[in-house]
């Protein structure tokens, strides 16, 4: 069943992307990229192209084709100010991190924010409301939301599938530079193979020969089953940026064993990047290696692997493997990996005191004071789960080591931890935290008869903490507020995070906007305020329901 679905999606996407019409560029400056489609990011593939905006905000942004504004999102994170245009063929284009919308759209958004009495909104619009023609000005580029600098994030979607926008701009974008390989990782399959006589992974860094060809030096021996992983970058003309690699092919002894073309993927499968890359190495070394051998629970439709992309070394001879990496424009790099077959003992996997978690089953674990339940389809691959605890009867809860964070979860797992001392009257103030390098990350949860339950997206070390401290409200430069007709306040919270804020002027909702640094601002709005004295009240709530408030009198 899964196989049939995969093929169907791949064919569908192929037909969508093939023969892409040219779009009108969304910017009227030369199109240079700071990010391409499919770049490897934390828990997701980069879903579009990042167009450079010459280091500044406020560049006009145009509809790439006719259609209508079908959705607008506003919030402190994600795409910040995001605009979605649906085109007649059902394709949708997305414009993210915008500074502002054109005035007629901005007016509509603010009306909706006052109607819903909140800053963060996700608005769906009907085709009659804001039809647009090809090349129409719709917004101005910015740096809002989860953006590390001014740029325009641009996507093309169809039927829940994210498409590489590059084919729509192939006339505007110049790329004659080929990908470069940073490193190859040789990975013995646990209990089934060894590399250079050991069970550990071996990293190899290519050198560049005089003719520019990348080559691996040094001898690799192996025995049994091994997989390979690769790390590299692509480059383009006219920029110093690095990009993700679109195509990877691995040939072993003239047999194509792995092939991937990151030209589209279903939005719902974004998180499967954690199975596409070597997640353990990512967590340990912060390096993204693409695995060219595959996990059985990975349903991403853009790659094909033969025999899971693994190589079986069972003869004392030289094996030749060859990587070919290429970009959308066909610039290509190759690298040969020579492996010497050398008969060796293969140590059994260490399974002492561990539980086998099968990728295609529901997996449950219980020990004193802790329960873990991973739903079916929650794992990409099977593994031996280890558990350990630091018990301290005077603590709120034991510290539970539920394996390590090096195993990715495909679905959230249910974690329950027992409270050893249940003394707080307000049970909302309890929450599960994950512990990593001395840092506590609040996951929260709900109280149930002396236990806290929460969903986790990562295994690792967990215990219970409390947050009884309300958020902090820090006025910024209060002396200039009246002169600037603008109020600016920094919000922060010690542990559970700022969950909500609400400003009221004379008892009526007032729109405070929040940026990614959790600074909220209110601009004196003469269209909504009468002339004269006014009273502002701000309430800020953290993830545990602890509330702080702030009051301010001003004259309009």
Tell me if 264 contacts Zn ion by CB under 5 A: no
CB of 152 to Zn ion, least distance (A): 8
CA angle centred on 42, ends 39 and 47, rounded to 5° = 40
Binding segment for Zn ion among 49-57, 219-227, 258-266, 273-281 (CB under 5 A)? 49-57
Q: Which C-beta is closer to Zn ion: that of 502 or that of 516? A: 516
Residue 501: strand, helix, or coil:
strand
Tell me if 50 contacts Zn ion by CB under 5 A: yes
Q: Which C-beta is closer to Zn ion: that of 50 or that of 458? A: 50
CB of 283 to Zn ion, least distance (A): 23
Binding segment for Zn ion among 50-58, 210-218, 236-244, 534-542 (CB under 5 A)? 50-58
Alpha helices in 421-508 (DSSP H): 481-484
CB of 67 to Zn ion, least distance (A): 21
Q: How many chain residues are in contact with Zn ion, going by CB under 5 A?
A: 2
Enter the tokens of residue 256: 């194509």
Q: Which C-beta is closer to Zn ion: that of 153 or that of 246? A: 153
Tell me if 153 contacts Zn ion by CB under 5 A: yes
Nearest to 13 by CA among 167, 134, 175: 167
Tell me if 155 contacts Zn ion by CB under 5 A: no
Residue 444: strand, helix, or coil:
strand
Q: Which C-beta is closer to Zn ion: that of 76 or that of 503? A: 76
Q: Which C-beta is closer to Zn ion: that of 50 or that of 234? A: 50
CB of 260 to Zn ion, least distance (A): 21
Binding segment for Zn ion among 128-136, 145-153, 297-305, 325-333 (CB under 5 A)? 145-153
Q: Which C-beta is closer to Zn ion: that of 156 or that of 257? A: 156
Q: Which C-beta is closer to Zn ion: that of 145 or that of 378? A: 145
> Which parts of 282-321 interact with Zn ion (CB under 5 A)?
none
> Which parts of 174-193 interact with Zn ion (CB under 5 A)?
none
Residue 106, judged by CB atoms within 10 A of its CB (0-12, 13-18, 19+), counts as: middle
CA torsion angle for 483, 58, 150, 244 (degrees, to 10)? 160
Compute the distance between CA of residue 234 and CA of residue 133 in angstroms, rounded to an integer: 34
HEC states along 268-336?
A: HHHHHHHHHECHHHHHHHCCCCEECCCCCCCCCCCEEECHHHCEEECCCCEEEEEEEEECCCCCEEEEE
CB of 153 to Zn ion, least distance (A): 3
Enter the tokens of residue 512: 């405070």
CB of 34 to Zn ion, least distance (A): 8
Residue 543 and residue 496 in contact, taking contact as beta carbons nearer than 8 Å:
yes
Instruction: Output helix, strand, coil percentages for the chain, rounded to the nearest 5.
Output: 10, 45, 40
- Largest alpha-carbon pair distance within the chain? 90
Binding segment for Zn ion among 150-158, 278-286, 380-388, 445-453 (CB under 5 A)? 150-158
Binding segment for Zn ion among 153-161, 168-176, 381-389, 405-413 (CB under 5 A)? 153-161
Tell me if 157 contacts Zn ion by CB under 5 A: no
CB of 154 to Zn ion, least distance (A): 8
Tell me if 400 contacts Zn ion by CB under 5 A: no
Nearby residues of 344 by Cβ (< 8 Å), 6 or more positions away: 194, 197, 221, 223, 224
- Cα–chain-centroid distance for residue 246? 18
Strands (DSSP E) contained in 419-497 are 430-436, 439-444, 446-448, 451-458, 460-466, 472-475, 486-492
Q: Which C-beta is closer to Zn ion: that of 92 or that of 529? A: 92
Beta bridge partners of 153: 50, 96
Q: Which C-beta is closer to Zn ion: that of 37 or that of 385? A: 37
CB of 71 to Zn ion, least distance (A): 17
Q: Which C-beta is closer to Zn ion: that of 155 or that of 467? A: 155
CB of 295 to Zn ion, least distance (A): 27
Tell me if 52 contacts Zn ion by CB under 5 A: no
Compute the distance between CA of residue 447 and CA of residue 183 in angstroms, rounded to an integer: 47
CA angle centred on 180, ends 176 and 184, rounded to 5° = 155
Q: Which C-beta is closer to Zn ion: that of 153 or that of 178? A: 153
Binding segment for Zn ion among 8-16, 44-52, 282-290, 379-387 (CB under 5 A)? 44-52
Name the one residue in this structure whose structure tokens are 């970009």: 327
Binding residues for Zn ion, rule: CB under 5 A, are 50, 153
């Amino acid at each position: 069943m899964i196989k049939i679905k995969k093929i169907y999606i791949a064919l569908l996407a192929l037909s969508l992307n093939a023969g892409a019409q040219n779009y009108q560029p969304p910017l009227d400056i030369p199109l240079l990229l700071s990010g391409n489609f499919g770049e490897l990011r934390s828990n997701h593939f980069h879903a579009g192209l990042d167009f450079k905006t010459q280091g500044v905000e406020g560049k006009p942004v145009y509809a790439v084709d006719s259609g209508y504004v079908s959705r607008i999102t506003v919030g402190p994170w994600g795409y910040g100010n995001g605009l979605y245009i649906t085109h007649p063929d059902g394709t949708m284009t997305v414009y993210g991190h915008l500074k502002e919308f054109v005035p007629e759209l901005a007016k509509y958004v603010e009306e909706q924010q006052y109607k819903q009495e909140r800053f963060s909104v996700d608005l769906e619009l009907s085709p009659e409301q804001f039809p647009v023609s090809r090349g129409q000005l719709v917004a101005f580029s910015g740096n809002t939301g989860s953006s590390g600098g001014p740029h325009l994030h641009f996507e093309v979607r169809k039927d829940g599938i994210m498409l590489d926008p590059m084919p729509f701009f192939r006339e505007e974008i110049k790329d004659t530079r080929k990908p470069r390989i940073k490193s190859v990782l040789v990975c013995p399959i646990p209990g089934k193979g060894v590399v250079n006589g050991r069970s550990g992974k071996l990293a190899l860094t290519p050198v560049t020969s005089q003719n520019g060809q990348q080559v691996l030096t040094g001898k690799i021996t192996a025995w049994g089953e091994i997989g390979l992983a690769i790390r590299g970058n692509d480059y383009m003309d006219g920029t110093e940026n690095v990009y993700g690699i679109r195509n990877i092919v691995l040939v072993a002894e003239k047999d194509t064993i792995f092939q991937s073309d990151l030209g589209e993927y279903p939005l719902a499968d974004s998180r499967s990047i954690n199975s596409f890359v070597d997640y353990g190495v990512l967590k340990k070394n912060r390096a993204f290696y693409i695995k060219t051998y595959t996990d059985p629970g990975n349903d991403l439709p853009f790659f094909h692997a033969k025999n899971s992309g693994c190589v079986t070394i069972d003869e004392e001879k030289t094996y030749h493997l060859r990587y070919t990496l290429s970009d959308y424009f066909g610039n290509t790099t190759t690298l040969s990996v020579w492996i010497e077959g050398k008969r060796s003992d293969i140590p059994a996997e260490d399974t002492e005191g561990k539980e086998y978690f099968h990728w295609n089953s529901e997996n449950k674990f219980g020990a004193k004071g802790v329960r873990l339940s991973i739903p079916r389809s929650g794992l990409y691959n099977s593994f031996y789960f280890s558990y350990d605890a630091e018990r301290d009867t005077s603590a709120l809860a034991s510290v539970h080591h539920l394996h390590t964070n090096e195993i990715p979860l495909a679905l959230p797992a249910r974690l329950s931890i027992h409270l050893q001392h249940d003394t707080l009257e307000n049970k909302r103030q309890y929450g599960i935290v994950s512990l990593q390098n001395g840092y506590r990350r609040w996951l929260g949860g709900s109280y149930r008869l002396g236990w806290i339950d929460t969903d986790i997206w990562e295994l690792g070390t967990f215990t219970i903490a409390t947050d009884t401290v309300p958020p902090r409200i820090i006025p910024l430069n209060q002396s200039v507020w009246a002169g600037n007709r603008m109020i600016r306040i920094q919000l922060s919270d010690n542990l559970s995070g700022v969950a909500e804020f609400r400003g009221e002027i004379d008892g009526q909702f007032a729109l405070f906007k929040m940026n990614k640094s959790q600074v909220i601002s209110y601009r004196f709005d003469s269209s909504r305020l009468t002339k004269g004295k006014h009273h502002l009240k701000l309430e800020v709530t953290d993830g545990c329901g602890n509330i702080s408030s702030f009051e301010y009198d001003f004259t309009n």
